[in-house]
């Protein structure tokens, strides 16, 4: 992907539309392939059953995603062992994962975990190789207060961590956890391998398809990925990717909710006609479609800008976070209401999407927090 360095005099947004904004044949091929794979191996009934299993996801399906769709290597540079694509393509994967409510760790491991190891100033190629081939699942604690709760100690032969990290997505299931911690020289970022003096306590969360855990570290051996001089920019980049990833996923959720709602209102009859033929229903569905297009445009634009120059994408990512969060919350409520009585039962699929939408909002903040970020970036 071509890059165009920014200068201090430039505005915080790109001057022209990125070329990758409009999907091409290759991108549509990726979408068709991932949609077919998820549709076959990740139905809503399968997802709900997996949420009650020990792992919380299908290891077999995760292997398919890694081997057949290259989800872990898709957005990695070719000189690091990847395929050389970018966030536009991985955004398509995430959108389809949201559409199918996939519980596999694509967001945590293939996006955050991979990029944490790729962007780390201190090389960790052995860890990256394991995440690439799917033999290890990685996750990242992006909490801005993480370093206040964890302390790192230089033992002379390596680093150890003491403290705790709260609400880490996939924390109990991950093999590698990336966290920030305070040490004598400031704040650093460290990678810890599961089972090395690390205790995971699963949380009870609204969305059972995306588990979280509180992690406790007791003299846990760790590897430094970024020292104090690099950690702030490093963590900011990971938080941007976390927001961008969920923006794409939320777009897929909206798409799925619109499809199931349209199908319902065209088959459900009242007063001798489909309820979708009533003007009030049409208007509400038109608003849902508008929300989908706004979300998709914002997420796709942010991904395209990121691929051209990540430093220029911060504003676009914050906008995508605000737009997509507002949209998915609105559409989740509309879908439940437009399904009538059946929509208000937890057994209906719409409620699993509702839970994921609310869980995503809790992970990366509501739209007001993203708008506050926008105000900071433009100097308001």
On whether residue 153 sits in a domain, the answer given is yes
Distance of CA 95 to the CA centre of its chain: 9
Query: What CA–CA distances, in Å, run from 122 to 106, 191, 246, 334?
Result: 24, 11, 27, 47
Same domain flag for 223 and 297? no
Same domain flag for 184 and 111? no
Looking up residue 116, the CATH number of its domain turns out to be 1.10.540.10
Least confident of 5-9, 147-151, 375-379: 5-9
Residues 75-83, mean pLDDT to the nearest whole number: 95
Q: 249 and 241 in contact (C-beta within 8 Å)?
A: no
Query: What CA–CA distances, in Å, run from 320 to 19, 30, 41, 140, 280?
Result: 18, 22, 29, 21, 29
Predicted confidence at residue 17, as pLDDT, reads 67
Statement: residue 2 has pLDDT above 70: no
d(CA 77, CA 346): 43
Predicted confidence at residue 103, as pLDDT, reads 96
Predicted confidence at residue 195, as pLDDT, reads 81
Of 233, 109, 220, the C-alpha closest to 164 is: 220
On whether residue 215 sits in a domain, the answer given is yes
Same domain flag for 372 and 241? yes
Predicted confidence at residue 4, as pLDDT, reads 39
Least confident of 241-250, 271-280, 284-293: 271-280
Residues 52-72, mean pLDDT to the nearest whole number: 95
On whether residue 129 sits in a domain, the answer given is yes
* Other C-beta atoms lying within 10 Å of the C-beta of residue 262: 15
Q: 280 and 337 in contact (C-beta within 8 Å)?
A: no
Strand 159-169 versus strand 269-270 pairing type: unpaired
Q: 315 and 295 in contact (C-beta within 8 Å)?
A: no
Same domain flag for 371 and 238? yes
On whether residue 38 sits in a domain, the answer given is yes
Least confident of 14-18, 192-196, 227-231, 347-351: 14-18
Statement: residue 244 has pLDDT above 60: yes
Predicted confidence at residue 197, as pLDDT, reads 87
Same domain flag for 238 and 365? yes
pLDDT tens for residues 116-170? 999 999 989 999 999 999 999 999 998 777 778 999 999 999 999 999 999 999 9
**Which pLDDT band holds residue 202 (cuts at 50, 70, 90)?**
very high
**Which pLDDT band holds residue 380 (cuts at 50, 70, 90)?**
confident
Average confidence score pLDDT of the chain: 92
pLDDT tens for residues 222-234? 999 999 999 999 9
% of the chain at pLDDT higher than 90: 83
By CB atoms closer than 10 A (0-12, 13-18, 19+), residue 252 is: buried
Statement: residue 1 has pLDDT above 50: no
Q: Which of 183, 211, 228 is the last residue of a domain?
A: 228
Tokens of 364: 């990366």
On whether residue 15 sits in a domain, the answer given is no
**Which pLDDT band holds residue 113 (cuts at 50, 70, 90)?**
very high
Same domain flag for 236 and 331? yes
Same domain flag for 219 and 262? no
- What is the domain count for the chain? 3
Q: Which of 228, 260, 280 is the last residue of a domain?
A: 228
Same domain flag for 295 and 172? no
Of 93, 176, 105, the C-alpha closest to 140 is: 176
d(CA 172, CA 212): 7
Distance of CA 115 to the CA centre of its chain: 12
Same domain flag for 205 and 250? no
d(CA 135, CA 294): 37
Place of tokens 């997996």: 50
Statement: residue 24 has pLDDT above 70: yes
Q: Which of 204, 228, 252 is the last residue of a domain?
A: 228
Same domain flag for 292 and 366? yes
Looking up residue 202, the CATH number of its domain turns out to be 2.40.110.10
By CB atoms closer than 10 A (0-12, 13-18, 19+), residue 309 is: middle
On whether residue 351 sits in a domain, the answer given is yes
Same domain flag for 206 and 251? no
Looking up residue 293, the CATH number of its domain turns out to be 1.20.140.10
Same domain flag for 241 and 224? no
On whether residue 108 sits in a domain, the answer given is yes
On whether residue 3 sits in a domain, the answer given is no
Range of the domain at 48: 25-133
d(CA 2, CA 341): 52
Higher pLDDT, 4 or 273: 273
Residues 28-32, mean pLDDT to the nearest whole number: 94
Higher pLDDT, 272 or 212: 212
């Amino acid at each position: 992907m071509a890059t165009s360095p920014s200068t201090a005099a430039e505005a915080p947004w790109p001057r022209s539309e990125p070329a990758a904004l409009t999907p091409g044949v290759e991108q549509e091929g990726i979408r068709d392939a991932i949609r077919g794979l998820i549709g076959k191996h990740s139905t809503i009934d399968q997802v709900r059953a997996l949420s009650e299993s020990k792992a919380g996801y299908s290891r077999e399906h995760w292997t398919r995603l890694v081997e057949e769709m290259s989800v872990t290597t898709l957005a990695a540079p070719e000189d690091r062992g990847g395929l050389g694509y970018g966030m536009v393509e991985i955004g398509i994967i995430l959108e389809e994962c949201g559409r199918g409510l996939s519980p596999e760790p694509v967001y945590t491991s293939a996006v955050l975990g991979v990029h944490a190891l790729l962007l780390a100033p201190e090389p960790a190629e052995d860890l990256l190789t394991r995440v690439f081939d799917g033999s290890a699942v990685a996750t990242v604690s992006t909490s801005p207060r993480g370093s206040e709760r964890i302390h790192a100690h230089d033992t002379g032969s390596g680093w150890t961590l003491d403290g705790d990290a709260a609400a880490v997505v996939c924390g109990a299931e991950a093999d590698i956890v990336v966290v920030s911690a305070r040490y004598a020289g400031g704040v650093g970022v460290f990678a810890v391998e599961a089972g090395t003096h690390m205790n995971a306590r699963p949380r009870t969360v609204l969305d059972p398809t995306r588990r979280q855990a509180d992690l406790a570290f007791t003299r846990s051996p760790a590897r430094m990925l970024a020292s104090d001089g690099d950690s702030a920019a490093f963590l900011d980049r990971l938080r941007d990717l976390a927001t961008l990833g969920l923006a794409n996923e939320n777009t897929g959720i909206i798409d799925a909710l619109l499809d199931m709602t349209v199908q319902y209102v065209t088959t459900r009859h009242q007063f001798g006609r489909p309820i979708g033929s009533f003007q009030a229903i049409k208007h509400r569905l038109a608003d849902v479609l508008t929300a989908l297009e706004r979300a998709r445009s914002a997420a796709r634009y942010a991904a395209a800008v990121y691929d051209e120059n990540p430093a220029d994408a911060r504003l676009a990512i914050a906008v995508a976070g605000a737009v997509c969060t507002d949209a998915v919350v609105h559409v989740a409520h509309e879908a439940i209401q437009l399904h009538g009585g059946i929509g208000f039962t937890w057994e209906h699929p719409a409620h699993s999407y509702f839970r994921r939408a609310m869980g995503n909002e809790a992970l990366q903040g509501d739209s007001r927090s993203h708008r506050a970020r926008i105000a900071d970036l433009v100097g308001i």
